[in-house]
Structure 1
Amino acid sequence: MCIPGQVASNAALVIRNYSRDHSFFLELSDYFWVTRESQFPFPFGTNGSEDILSQVLGVANDFSIPHEIKRLPCRRCVVIGSGYRMKNSSLGDIIDKYDIVIRLNNAPVHKYEEDVGSKTTLRLFYPESAFFDPVLDNNPDTLLVLVPFKNLDIQWLKTVLNNETMVKKGFWKKPPLIWKVKSQNIRILNPYFMEFAATKLMQYVLTIRKMSVRPTIGFMAISFAIHFCDMVHIAGFGYPKINDSLPNHYYDKSIMKKMISASHKVPLEAMIIRKLLQHNVIQNLTYF
């Protein structure tokens, strides 16, 4: 049963200074008509990226939440992690019954429907992970939500929207050069949710000189969901041990060592997710 405001009430008891008084997506008015100074650059703020943001948001000129979501009396959400435990889970039919299905990066749907479902309401991604099939892995009305980690990510979005020459340097992996999606389906996530994940959940103190912490997209999606939804369920979270022979994802053979080598604090994230589960802020469809 979905109870309006339940996640917000439970989160407020566990998370210090929890508040829903923040926009979900960046809007042109933030950088054109009104000047808002941000303390940090991406991924925790927009400092230094205001000009390029105003150009991109002028093209992707829809910043709203779709009416179909707005009118819901209670938002029932599920965040689908990319973990190996989704394989052979047979959760597809259950997942498709949620109002809002949030997927991550290039996690495929096509050929995995029995385990992960076929519905995609929002897909959170960054340029290097934008290799999903826009037709087979998304629905026609899926919101593609860019999670910017650096100024170059916004530059990439500008080039693909305007068919400009791509800047190839500065990415750890070459992003798509051609990206055929509708501009009205694109949103840019408010960096507040990345800051919230790092400071409110992970308890890090951010400084301009030292900003090496990078919450995973999955952890950040949970951070977003506990602000956006009235019910938050997760599936496919939890990772194999570093020396485990199991793949990290349900759809490829990548292993845990690759994630550990990045600037992610996976053990800390796992501990926080367990805490959120214990306090009924979120609930789990798979084992953790």
Structure 2
Amino acid sequence: MTTDNLTNWRVLALFMLGTFFSVAVVWYLRAEPNMPVPYVIAEDDGMMCLQGNMGRKALLLIENYSRNHPAFLQMSDFFWEKNQSVYQLPYGTQGSEEILLKVLALTMRYDMPDRVQSLPCWRCVVVGNGHRLKNSSLGDVINKYDIVMRLNNAPVHKYEHDVGNKTTLRLFYPESADFDPHLQNNPDSLMVLVPFKTPDIQWLKAVLNNEKRSRKGFWKSPPLIWDVKPENVRILNPYFMEVTASKLLNVSIKPPRKNKEKPTTGLLAITFALHICDVVHIAGFGYPETTNKKQTIHYYEQITLTSMADSDHNVSHEAQAIRRLLEARIIRNLTRF
């Protein structure tokens, strides 16, 4: 046998040994009930989903990171003094406990869907509303994730090729609630209220209980009719807003607050995903350069950065936070950022 043939046989033997070892590891992990089971995220992606991996990564950037917090508010949160919040909305529930109890008594569900809870590992994608999703052809890729998070009133209908049509969770606040939620969501989608202020909770109580609506306290009129089943409604734990502001944006949330900067729903959704998911990917995040006055900021409407001039959001500050997460390989981006 020549030297070249011997080298080729050695390479082939090493390749077969490596393949056998990989198969054996996966078989062992699946056979051992106490071991996390990795699996492929998408057909063209070799990254594995491993329970607990996200927590270890998030510790790199989030001080005192902990998953010991419920995803959604529940009635039991308000029956014990030890659970009383030190902050008012949007960073806590102080002063809103009574109205929250009334709303939570209507929804009566405080967990993730059963089909998600039964999964051994949660692969999540947070779908932003950015213009980079337009003509992205990412619809089929997005639909493959276990949990698809969407934001505010971003449409799915007629944009399925770019954004998919699967919605597990939709984070929103009253002014951003879609007037036709059935058109843009699945029948079992969870509608997750992000309460920025007490009137947000009062609005939810009114529409779920068919009570008199009020437009007072809103910067834009929310829907007066919002046809969603109470069991599909959740209220996001304000803890995640607190972490987003204080840990990712380094914004002071202690009164008196001179800086009125608040996180966007998008960055909040990423923080939420870091706490409940095992893999976090994002798509459609990023704003145009501040000097670009003509580029639209959303994939579905013709508005520019000037529309955010009077908001309490600092998009440059948030872009830096997302970039840190990307550079630390804590999250992965499916679109250009």
Contact 1:145 1:187 in 2 (8 A): yes
Question: What secondary structure sits across from 2:227 in the alignment?
Answer: coil
| 1:260 Cα offset (Å) | 3.5
Structure with higher Rg: it is: 2
Task: Specify which of 269, 279, 301 is matched with residue 221 of structure 1.
Answer: 269
CA–CA separation in structure 2 for the residues paired with 1:179 and 1:15? 36
Question: What secondary structure sits across from 1:82 in the alignment?
Answer: coil
| 1:243 Cα offset (Å) | 3.6
CA–CA separation in structure 2 for the residues paired with 1:238 and 1:132? 26
CA–CA separation in structure 1 for the residues paired with 2:88 and 2:222? 21
| 1:135 Cα offset (Å) | 1.8
The residue type paired with residue 105 of structure 2 is G
Gaps of 5+ in 1: none
Counterparts in 2 of 1:74 and 1:132: CA distance versus 1, 3 Å: farther
Which runs of structure 2 are paired with 1:84-163 in the superposition (5 Å)?
Answer: 84-131=131-178, 133-163=180-210
Question: What secondary structure sits across from 1:136 in the alignment?
Answer: helix
Task: Specify which of 292, 295, 298 is matched with residue 249 of structure 1.
Answer: 298
Which runs of structure 2 are paired with 1:1-288 in the superposition (5 Å)?
Answer: 1-31=48-78, 33-35=79-81, 36-131=83-178, 133-210=180-257, 212-244=260-292, 245-288=294-337
CA–CA separation in structure 2 for the residues paired with 1:206 and 1:52? 23
Q: Greater helix percent: which structure?
A: 2
CA–CA separation in structure 2 for the residues paired with 1:260 and 1:229? 33
Contact 2:179 2:223 in 1 (8 A): no
Contact 2:282 2:333 in 1 (8 A): yes
Q: Which has the higher contact order (CA 8 A, sep 6+)?
A: 1
Kindly, what percent of the aligned residue pairs are identical?
Answer: 57
| 1:209 Cα offset (Å) | 1.9
Contact 2:168 2:188 in 1 (8 A): yes
Counterparts in 2 of 1:222 and 1:132: CA distance versus 1, 3 Å: farther
| 1:189 Cα offset (Å) | 0.1
The residue type paired with residue 202 of structure 1 is L
Counterparts in 2 of 1:85 and 1:26: CA distance versus 1, 3 Å: same
Normalising to structure 2: TM-score of the pair? Answer: 0.83
| 1:147 Cα offset (Å) | 0.2
CA–CA separation in structure 1 for the residues paired with 2:276 and 2:148? 12
The residue type paired with residue 7 of structure 1 is M
The count of corresponding residues between Structure 1 and Structure 2 is: 287
State the Cα RMSD in Å: 1.1
Normalising to structure 1: TM-score of the pair? Answer: 0.97
CA–CA separation in structure 1 for the residues paired with 2:256 and 2:116? 39
| 1:132 Cα offset (Å) | 5.1
Contact 2:140 2:164 in 1 (8 A): yes
Contact 1:108 1:132 in 2 (8 A): no
| 1:133 Cα offset (Å) | 2.7
CA–CA separation in structure 1 for the residues paired with 2:179 and 2:219? 18
Contact 1:56 1:154 in 2 (8 A): yes
Gaps of 5+ in 2: 1-47
